[in-house]
Structure 1
């Protein structure tokens, strides 16, 4: 998974990785921090690994066949967002996008349908988790939070359905992070040791 965030997203997905120990997850943080750069790097990796519609080579072994490459980025005020989404879609790279910022974290705690901007979302998250500092660490107790990932997935689906009804699929608030976490959970179940 390639992501634009330097703190929040990597810390969250590393906690998820620890929670689902047998899912093979690698979080790579892109320092450029804009969706198009994240998308380009993720697509290049998918092509190189034989995991893209554009790949010339096939995966080397059966373990690689189930591998997925994802790009995680926010809508916010980033240029070329639509172009980044189109690039990922055209090559089969998964998209974990959020509008605004990583609104996904709120969905672990409650429904959220306010069309708030990223500053208001961060303030709301600070009220839910006082340890979250939007001007500092930008982390919560993710180890505890990931136990509610399936609830967050359900809430994210409801959010996306609401935006679809409004004919604003990328509108505020919305996130496809639940699609990525569901893929991680599926990978973990597939690779769970037999008893």
Structure 2
């Protein structure tokens, strides 16, 4: 019987699977640009943020995100521990908003909601904000703070520079939500839970860095 020699070739170092965040976003420009800037800011090789832009109304987004959860659990190899699916949408004047929330909660889809719009979250990178304005007034307020931004022309804020104020924006979002609770208008204008998503992303990135 011929004895087989051991394989002395060096095996490549094992790498952790990527931590995937799939974000179904209502917006087609601002939200994708922001979260891609956040991905670059985290500078983590195992972090993969996949943005589905212009994904529809909150209810449509909830349906698509829930379907993605079911599909990935059916295909066991495609859903890894640490993977997360989120819905990113605005309250604005959308019908069936509460139904969308319930659908996300049932499917365990993360919810990053803003009232009236995502721009509330961007304003918090500059200052506290408690004016109960509508969408267009909020967008004008952001434009006054960020000269690069123009909702009408589609010009985007400098999302990379916003990352410098991410910590304070998250704290301001918490304070903002607490203020709405005190006013007995939970999640009323203005408010946002986008900080829950940014923290989840940054926590996932930091876990990888702690291993090194």
Aligned with residue 118 of structure 1, among 120, 135, 141? 135
Matches within 5 A, 1:108-147: 108-147=125-164
Point out where structure 1 has 5 or more consecutive residues left out of the alignment. Answer: 51-56
1:74 match: 90
Larger CA Rg, structure 1 vs 2: 2
- Which TM-score applies when normalising by structure 2? 0.83
Point out where structure 2 has 5 or more consecutive residues left out of the alignment. Answer: 1-22
2:180 match: 163
Q: Using a 3 Å threshold, how does the CA distance of structure 1 residues 171 and 145 change in structure 2: closer, same or farther?
A: same
Aligned with residue 49 of structure 1, among 47, 68, 72? 72
Structure 1 position 194, deviation (Å): 4.2
RMSD (Å) for aligned C-alpha atoms: 1.6
How many pairs align?
187
1:6 match: 28
Structure 1 position 85, deviation (Å): 0.8
1:53 match: none
- Which TM-score applies when normalising by structure 1? 0.90
More strand by share: 2
Which structure 1 residue ranges, 4+ long, deviate > 6 Å from structure 2? none
Structure 1 position 31, deviation (Å): 4.3
Matches within 5 A, 1:165-184: 165-184=182-201
Does the CA contact (< 8 Å) of 1:10 and 1:29 recur in 2? yes
Q: For 1:82 and 1:167, how far apart are their aligned partners in 2?
A: 18
